[in-house]
Amino acid sequence: MNVMEYIREKRAGGVLHFTLIDPDRQSPEKSGELAAMAERLGSDGIMVGGSNPAHVLGLHEAVKCIKKSCKIPVILFPSSHSGVAPGADAIFFMSLFNSRSPQYIVEEQAKGAIMVRQYGIEPLPMAYLIVDSGSATSAGWTGDVKPIPREKPEFAVAYSLAAKYFGMRFVYLEGGSGAAHPVPDEMVKAVKHAVGDVFVIVGGGIRDPQTAREKVASGADIIVTGTIAENNTEVFGSIVRAVKGSQK
């Protein structure tokens, strides 16, 4: 079974939880330990990536350690072509739709595509949308983004429909790692209503189970948490349980 089939099959039974590991934040061995912990607590997949250019230094080694430490799919989450590394099961082959620079919409992807083919990594086509979270985030700054205003869900809907019509299978509504405020519920609802069977991923600034439940109730198919996995295992576990317990 490939990763797309795994996600489809799992989603038929409920909402998924993915854990984001940024290789820049700890040693490769520690990244492996985080992945093992996430799997033990019920997370359904590991995403590996970061916005800080330095994260690529430890990326290859981190992917190796993570692959060794868990059985759930390991999915690359690149911020440029340098985020493509061998050994992962899949890659979110993503276009930063609301970037002002063609570099993040298609140029980095063109450079990375050859590597994806060469390494035999399964591409998961995704539109990546960065939503204003009330604070500056690395993803927004690095990707030269015009953030979607929090009170304008219709802008997110417009981009998400464009993604669906391009044939993308995922839309990621991103508040940014460590965001002050997560993506608003109204926006998640409006996007899910518009895109139907396209998987809606929500992440950024989710640091308690209640917030995760609200995103699930709003229609998210996959919830992503990163920072809390590094900072507080107990709260992280309660978020995973909330996601898996509040099924839609």
Rule CB under 6 A: choose which of 3, 15, 20, 38 binds ligand 1GP. 20
Neighbouring CB atoms inside 10 A of 101's CB total: 12
Site string for ligand 1GP, 155-194 (x = CB under 6 A): -------------------x--xxx---------------
Q: Which is closer to ligand 1GP, CB of 126 or CB of 179?
A: 179
Per CB under 6 A, 24 contacts ligand 1GP: no
Per CB under 6 A, 87 contacts ligand 1GP: no
Q: Which of 189, 240, 190, 199 is nearest to 219 (CA)?
A: 189
Give the nearest distance from C-beta 200 to ligand 1GP in angstroms. 13
Rounded Cα distance between 125 and 145, Å, is 20
Q: Which two tokens stand for residue 108?
A: 């980095």
Which residues of the chain form beta strands (DSSP E)? 16-21, 45-48, 74-76, 90-96, 122-130, 170-174, 199-203, 222-225
Per CB under 6 A, 85 contacts ligand 1GP: no
Rule CB under 6 A: choose which of 156, 206, 220, 243 binds ligand 1GP. 206
Q: Which two tokens stand for residue 183?
A: 């993506």
Give the nearest distance from C-beta 181 to ligand 1GP in angstroms. 11
Give the nearest distance from C-beta 161 to ligand 1GP in angstroms. 22
Per CB under 6 A, 205 contacts ligand 1GP: yes
User: Where does this chain touch ligand 1GP (CB under 6 A) — which range of 84-92, 100-108, 162-170, 200-208?
Assistant: 200-208
Rule CB under 6 A: choose which of 46, 226, 237, 239 binds ligand 1GP. 226
Rounded Cα distance between 19 and 75, Å, is 10
Q: Which is closer to ligand 1GP, CB of 114 or CB of 219?
A: 219
Q: For the CA atoms of 181, 237, 31, 203, what is the dihedral angle to 10 degrees?
A: -30
- The CA-atom distances, in angstroms, between 204 and each of 18, 118, 131, 156, 178 are 12, 31, 10, 16, 6
Can you tell me whether residue 19 is helix, strand or coil? strand
Neighbouring CB atoms inside 10 A of 25's CB total: 18
Neighbouring CB atoms inside 10 A of 13's CB total: 9
Rule CB under 6 A: choose which of 145, 227, 237, 243 binds ligand 1GP. 227
- What residue is closest to ligand 1GP based on CB? 203
Neighbouring CB atoms inside 10 A of 187's CB total: 26
Per CB under 6 A, 123 contacts ligand 1GP: no
Rounded Cα distance between 145 and 179, Å, is 15
Give the nearest distance from C-beta 117 to ligand 1GP in angstroms. 25
Give the nearest distance from C-beta 1 to ligand 1GP in angstroms. 26
Per CB under 6 A, residues contacting ligand 1GP are 20, 174, 177-179, 203-206, 224-228
